[in-house]
Amino acid sequence: MSRTPTVIGRRTAAVLTAALLAALTACGNDDSEKDTGASTAPGATNAVPQADLTVLAASSLTDVFETAATAYEKAHPGTKITFSFAGSQELVAQVSQGSPADVLVTADTKSMDKVKADAGTPTIIAKNRLVIATGKGNPHKVDELKDLADDDLKVVLAAPEVPVGKYSRQILDAQGITVKPVSQEPNVRAVLSKVELGEADAGLVYKTDAESAADKVDAVRIPDAQNAVAQYPAAMLKDSENAEAAAAFVAWLSSPEGQKILQDAGFQKP
CATH superfamily of the domain spanning 52-127+232-264 = Periplasmic binding protein-like II (3.40.190.10)
Do 52-127+232-264 and 128-229 agree at the fold level? Answer: yes
Question: Is the pLDDT at 38 greater than 90, yes or no?
Answer: no
- pLDDT, position 49: 83
CB-CB contact of 56 with 90 (8 Å): no
The CA-CA-CA angle for residues 186, 60, 173, to 5°, reads 60
- Measured in Å, how far apart are the chain's first and last C-alpha atoms? 83
pLDDT band at 18 (very low <50, low <70, confident <90, very high): very low
- Condensed to tens digits (0 to 9), the pLDDT of residues 77-115 reads 999 999 999 999 999 999 999 999 999 999 999 999 999
Statement: 128-229 belongs to CATH 3.40.190.10: yes
What is the arithmetic mean of pLDDT over 188-194? 97
Does the global pTM surpass 0.75?
yes
Would you list the domain boundaries of the chain? Answer: 52-127+232-264, 128-229
